[in-house]
Chains A and B, each alone.
Chain A
Amino acid sequence: DAGITQSPRYKITETGRQVTLMCHQTWSHSYMFWYRQDLGHGLRLIYYSAAADITDKGEVPDGYVVSRSKTENFPLTLESATRSQTSVYFCASSEASGSIFTDTQYFGPGTRLTVL
């Protein structure tokens, strides 16, 4: 299916375990983003990527690692999960070429992560 997908949709893990959340988009958008959404904080940017092999930190990057070897994939890894990382994680993509028509961010359905 075309669009942006995330997997898994739901994940329960334990403190200290490594977890990888996957994001895949079929539009060949250059920019991809990872956000977390928490009650009381709204959506906060974790990391973003301008192209394959180019990534940069957002507002709340600590405890997360990203990579982007292919344009269409942007996995997010929690190297040692903590309870404070319990959240809903959204991936988004955008062409980000400088026009409001192309810079719209399209969001995936989200991954609901619980760290016990």
Chain B
Amino acid sequence: QKEVEQDPGPLSVPEGAIVSLNCTYSNSAFQYFMWYRQYSRKGPELLMYTYSSGNKEDGRFTAQVDKSSKYISLFIRDSQPSDSATYLCAMSYGLGGSQGNLIFGKGTKLSVKP
């Protein structure tokens, strides 16, 4: 079993829909959880990060971590065509040094239709 599992999709939604993207993981030692967004033929860029369990909101984006279930989610409200991209979850055991090395999910390709 891979350490981080993510449904690759693709996921297609109409503009304005609420999008839910999810990852599960197997190692309870992960402490930091991130979501990266990757546009076609570009490098990934950090969208949001969360430490341990809880929620974090940034505009239309909400990240949730449930460490008891080893499950993380990214919600996008009022989705826009500009949100069309591949979303990668990533996690690390800590910060600094090799503890900060990221383990990525496979990514979910999202398409928001006008």
Contacts of B105 in A (CB 8 A): 42
A56 to B101, CA, bound (A): 11
With A90-B44, A107-B43 as contacts: A98 and B51 at CB distance below 8 Å:
no
Which of B44, B95, B100 has most chain A Cβ within 10 Å?
Answer: B100
How many of chain A's residues have a CB under 8 angstroms from any CB in B?
A: 28
Task: Please tell me which stretch of A12-20, A43-51, A60-68, A76-84 contacts chain B, meaning at least 4 of its Cβ atoms lie within 8 angstroms of it.
Answer: A43-51
Contacts of B46 in A (CB 8 A): 104-106
Cβ B106 vs Cβ A109 within 8 A: no
A92 to B106, CA, bound (A): 18
Cβ A96 vs Cβ B88 within 8 A: no
With A100-B51, A104-B46, A109-B43 as contacts: A58 and B101 at CB distance below 8 Å:
yes
Question: Can you list 18 A-B pairs with a CB-CB distance of less than 8 A?
Answer: A31-B100, A40-B106, A42-B6, A42-B104, A42-B105, A42-B106, A43-B102, A45-B101, A48-B101, A92-B43, A98-B95, A99-B95, A100-B51, A100-B95, A104-B49, A105-B102, A108-B43, A109-B41
Extra 13 A-B pairs, beta carbons < 8 Å, given A100-B49, A103-B100: A33-B101, A41-B106, A42-B104, A48-B98, A96-B95, A99-B95, A100-B32, A100-B95, A103-B96, A104-B46, A105-B102, A106-B46, A107-B45
